[in-house]
Structure 1
Amino acid sequence: MAPGAVVTTSSPTGFMHLIDPNRKWYNNRRLITLHAWLVLLLITSSTNGFDGSLMNSLQSMNQWESFFNHPQGGTLGLLNAIQNIGSLAGYPFAPYLSDGIGRRPSIWIGAVFMLAGAALQTACQNIHQFIGARFLLGFGLSIATNAAAMLVTEVSYPLYRPQLSSLYNTLWYSGNIVASWASFGTARINNDWAWRIPSILQAIPSFFQFFLIWFVPESPRWLISKGKDTQALRTLAHYHADGDERDPLVIYEFEEIKAAIKLDQENKNRVGWKALVATRGNRKRMVIIVAIAWFSQWSGNGLVSYYLNQVFDTIGITDNLTQLLITGILAIWNLFWAVFASFQVDRWGRRFLFLTSAAGMTLFFTLQTVCSAQYALHGTHSAAHAVIAFIFLFYAFYDLAFTPLIVSYTLEILPYSLRAKGYNVFNFTVSVALIFNQYVNPIALNAIGWKYYIVYCCWLAFETVFLYFFVVETQNRTLEETAALFDGDDVVKLQQIAHQAAEVRSEDYDEKGSDPGLRV
């Protein structure tokens, strides 16, 4: 099979003609309500982004450094890595909670742990309490993230699912921006509140989720998997068709989801942890998922995300306020490009975005390395300024794919039966990559400075080649239809059965008086 080639069904975009062209997100009250609830889920990622920027900003604060006796080396690595260690501790529980008790209760449980962590971080009196607080934040985040991202994907209106699920990870930068600018504003406070106030702000997303998550609709796919078909149909109809349970789009979604889940439940090779590698299709899924998870943290971005202050030091920018200002501007820049890419996923396609992103990162990280070397070897100030420019250009290309797509692409290529476990593997891989980076990066930067960048230049070139041969296009498909890209002809036939069942039911409802203009 040629790189990027796809297996198609007889109706790869079969749902598109069922969508009412007059039902837009901005003129339909129920879609507006649905999207308002989805924002509550999307901001889960903001907590993670807040933490990444917060630790970067705190290292540029004299008040924080003095309070914790100027942590260096392994201690600094632990402070940055402990949140991800907490996430590792939560991963064994996350998929069982999401699939067992539901997406909404899992998000609530995660919010409880994150609120406790933010409270302890704000009130901590020593470095051990600070480490414990960040462990709790990571533990809660792993549970909430597993459920929130899936719920966004599974409850979204089909026309807007790619954009909304891509916005999930994109909003990492919203937390990043708040942390950067909050730290910039409080850095002038000459006491411990300079870093305690940003710690309080980290609790805001979890605070809203703690009280409001029960108003968010539960996943229709989870409801059907638990035998709650009536409730699932009612949820789909309420938000996707103004309450009309006979709407052809609702029938199509309902029947397709039922057929896919029935297939999973009848085939032991499609459930459980072993199923992740039991078939050729699932092994290909896992190779792609593990790779993009690792690439998302091991593309040179880890240097900027957690150790930007040390990068600045290597090019002679040592003023704390200047470092914080650049960090804040970079966060806004990243959010702009990531949001822009999120709205292009169906227009440009996932494969194009991944390949463009990888090629652009390779180019601009290489130029960043060259300029860093020029400053280190010859003290060229213009080269130091060029490094800042290339960091911004590097991130523009990073944000085309590795911010919006890594979560949405992972979720859409996984069938329902494996979605929670497969996404958990993705998050686990991200955490392992982060922990590795957070321990190795400060040691390597201190030891060999700009020469460490060469490692990432070579790795980025490898990423580009890998993505060319492995990324499969999933453009304009439902979640269930993407199974045909990996699972072969048997799944194609079963999907066609689901489509035919939807057509039969739709035609039956049409005879009873539904709008003939929306017939399948």
Structure 2
Amino acid sequence: MGYVIGNIYFITTVAVIGGALFGFDIASMSAILGTQQYKCFFNQTGLINGQCGGPTSSTQGGISAAMPGGSFLGALISGFVTDWIGRKGAIQSGSVIWCIGSAIVCASFSIGQLVAGRFINGVSVGILSAQVPVYVAELAQPSKRGQVVGAQQWAITWGILIMFYISYGSSFLAGNAAWRLPWGLQMIPAVFLFFMFFFLPESPRWLAKHDRWEEAHEVLGLVHAKGDKNAPFVLTELQEIREMVEFERQHADASYLELFKGHMIYRTHIGMFTQIWSQLTGMNVMMLYITYVFGMAGLSGNANLVASSIQYVINVVMTIFALLFIDRWGRRTPLLVGSTLMMIFMFANGGLMASYGKPAPLGGVDGVAEESWDMSAAPMAAKGIIACTYLFVASYAPTWGPVSWIYPPELFPLRLRGKAVALSTASNWIFNFALSYFVPPAFENIKWKTYLVFGVFCFAMTVHVFFAFPETAGKTLEEVEEMFTTPGMRPWKTAVQFQQVRKLEQGTVQSEKLRDIQVEHATEKGGAEVTQEA
């Protein structure tokens, strides 16, 4: 295999740079759209109170929505790309596409060019957001899978934080450099991602699917046992992969259509709704248009940008708890707790605005049409809105944020995993596209009622998760398959199996399957004696 790095944490650190690229896009758009340099260059509304009004609300919605629109396409095609050239090849191709889109955005001289560049960036993000979780999930041990896949969300939060401050610092530059510089700098991580992937292993499950069994065995030994191909857990997992590959070849071909057949449609709907609901929480909207929200709460200029950045810090810090405990918490509990808390804070924000605010003058607060509600007469209520927004972010960060990336790759069998996660992620992006386009006009037209819409969504997702989403934490990907094919499975009766699988990984317990594998392996080696100890 040449020189290949097998430490799962290093592999994850490199791979989730693909998630950071999504964060870069959210933060740069959020910070840049409020600057006069951006508004004046892409001005469509003339001067308002002596300042450039920037694009119209519908045009800005289109500019923002171009990225998730491209991501929808990228996520869908990623299923074919990853089956064809592998998980590594798909991720590397995504990094190249990102550089192309960023170059176009950085050099934009018209709104059309800006939209085209952001759409191409979106294709990249769609590929990366779908395949990075698959890649690290197929490499990680079960007891670490939630932790390393959840790092995708942590990377997104870091990308948001870093790029927001770069964009904020660039806002003090004169002229077009204020927005060209951050959109140009975001190419650097993608270049690093492309070249570092030459030193990382391919997914052992993808290798096995293409009958490259020796390479698959080497990767399992490298990642799980520091190169020991005969380690008990390595032999167990290799055998489970072999059985799964043989079973899948005998029973079905991998196609998108199969995702909607028989019992598979149940898993497909769970995977899709995990991603759909993560958008309908309203989190990414709050990240992208937070300057509008705080503008309605009475903040403007640098004070608005600094206050907005605090939520990005909260997002980074609170996601750490998920990385530390998500495999012990499981998947169901964080989803249920997170949606309940977010519902409370959404309704609280809507209530505060309805009770203490009033419609803004024509043209919005400070000439921003989307800032259509005025809270200046109630400073304490305005502070309550800011506080509830921070608490909303703190509720999302350790729950729906990471779990929405962790959960879908765990649901599907090997033959369908690449396409299934691609479809699930595409569901995320089509709703991201719709919300990016819908929210600016919503703030302008239905004002505080926008919060009530998302509060109702949070209530609906709580009910849906309780009755339909089973627990997958602590199980091998092959055990998850067995759980879904067992008749009478009740999602609310499934539980985390963290300690049991952790002992198996460490070799402190021995299953009957492991005993059989050791006997078979010893026979292949010439009949060597197999001891009773694993």
2: distance between equivalents of 1:409 and 1:475? 9
The aligned counterpart of 1:179 is 163
1:274 to 257, 275, 283: 257
| AA at the equivalent of 1:372 | M
Cα gap change, 1:139 to 1:514, in 2 (>3 Å): farther
Unaligned runs of 5+ in 1: 1-29, 492-498
1:39 Cα deviation after fit:
1.1
1: distance between equivalents of 2:274 and 2:138? 21
The aligned counterpart of 2:292 is 310
2: distance between equivalents of 1:467 and 1:374? 32
2: distance between equivalents of 1:242 and 1:185? 44
2: distance between equivalents of 1:328 and 1:518? 55
2:457 to 456, 459, 468: 459
2:34 to 37, 60, 71: 60
2: distance between equivalents of 1:383 and 1:205? 41
Alignment map for 1:352-363 (pairs within 5 Å) = 352-363=333-344
- Secondary structure at 1:93's aligned position in 2? helix
| AA at the equivalent of 1:253 | E
CA deviation map 1:299-344 (0-9, x unaligned): 1224312211221222222x22112112222111011112212321
Alignment map for 1:268-347 (pairs within 5 Å) = 268=252, 271-280=254-263, 282-317=264-299, 319-347=300-328
The aligned counterpart of 2:367 is none
Alignment map for 1:18-97 (pairs within 5 Å) = 33-69=7-43, 70-97=54-81
TM-score, normalised relative to structure 2: 0.85
The aligned counterpart of 2:516 is 504
Q: Is contact 2:6–2:222 with CA below 8 Å preserved after alignment?
A: no
Cα gap change, 1:517 to 1:128, in 2 (>3 Å): farther
| Aligned: 1:195 with 2:169 | no
| AA at the equivalent of 1:58 | I
The aligned counterpart of 2:140 is 156
CA deviation map 1:437-486 (0-9, x unaligned): 11211111101211222222222211111111112111211111111221
2: distance between equivalents of 1:114 and 1:36? 22
2:209 to 225, 229, 238: 225
1:50 Cα deviation after fit:
1.1
* Identical aligned residues as a percent: 27
2: distance between equivalents of 1:166 and 1:34? 13
2: distance between equivalents of 1:124 and 1:31? 39
| Aligned: 1:265 with 2:249 | yes
| Aligned: 1:140 with 2:152 | no
1:508 Cα deviation after fit:
5.1
CA deviation map 1:183-225 (0-9, x unaligned): 1212111221111221122112211122221211000000000
The aligned counterpart of 2:504 is none
2: distance between equivalents of 1:518 and 1:73? 68
Cα gap change, 1:486 to 1:509, in 2 (>3 Å): closer
2: distance between equivalents of 1:414 and 1:339? 27
| AA at the equivalent of 1:483 | E
Cα gap change, 1:322 to 1:32, in 2 (>3 Å): farther
1: distance between equivalents of 2:344 and 2:351? 11
RMSD of Structure 2 on Structure 1 (CA)? 2.3
Question: Aligned residues, how many?
Answer: 481
Q: Is contact 1:59–1:65 with CA below 8 Å preserved after alignment?
A: yes
1:78 Cα deviation after fit:
0.9
CA deviation map 1:24-71 (0-9, x unaligned): xxxxxx987442232111110000011011111111211111111111
Cα gap change, 1:309 to 1:518, in 2 (>3 Å): farther
Q: Is contact 2:62–2:437 with CA below 8 Å preserved after alignment?
A: yes
1:348 to 299, 317, 329: 329
Cα gap change, 1:354 to 1:89, in 2 (>3 Å): closer
1:385 Cα deviation after fit:
0.6
Cα gap change, 1:243 to 1:442, in 2 (>3 Å): same
1: distance between equivalents of 2:532 and 2:60? 63
1:475 to 473, 476, 480: 473
2: distance between equivalents of 1:298 and 1:197? 32
| AA at the equivalent of 1:191 | G
TM-score, normalised relative to structure 1: 0.88
CA deviation map 1:56-102 (0-9, x unaligned): 11112111111111112221011101112212333442111101111
Q: Is contact 1:153–1:411 with CA below 8 Å preserved after alignment?
A: yes
2: distance between equivalents of 1:226 and 1:344? 35
2: distance between equivalents of 1:516 and 1:40? 40
Single out whichever of 366-375 and 249-258 deviates more from structure 2: 366-375
The aligned counterpart of 2:363 is none
| AA at the equivalent of 2:327 | D
1:157 Cα deviation after fit:
3.5
| AA at the equivalent of 2:209 | S
| AA at the equivalent of 2:112 | H
The aligned counterpart of 2:411 is 413
2: distance between equivalents of 1:430 and 1:509? 44
| Aligned: 1:128 with 2:112 | yes
2: distance between equivalents of 1:304 and 1:274? 35
1:516 Cα deviation after fit:
5.9
The aligned counterpart of 2:402 is 404
2: distance between equivalents of 1:290 and 1:87? 15
| AA at the equivalent of 2:65 | A
1:406 Cα deviation after fit:
0.7
| AA at the equivalent of 1:274 | L
Alignment map for 1:2-17 (pairs within 5 Å) = none
1:501 Cα deviation after fit:
5.2
CA deviation map 1:359-394 (0-9, x unaligned): 111111111111222341472110001111101111
1:388 to 386, 389, 392: 386
- Secondary structure at 1:221's aligned position in 2? helix
Unaligned runs of 5+ in 2: 44-53, 359-374, 490-510
| AA at the equivalent of 1:347 | R
2: distance between equivalents of 1:233 and 1:455? 50
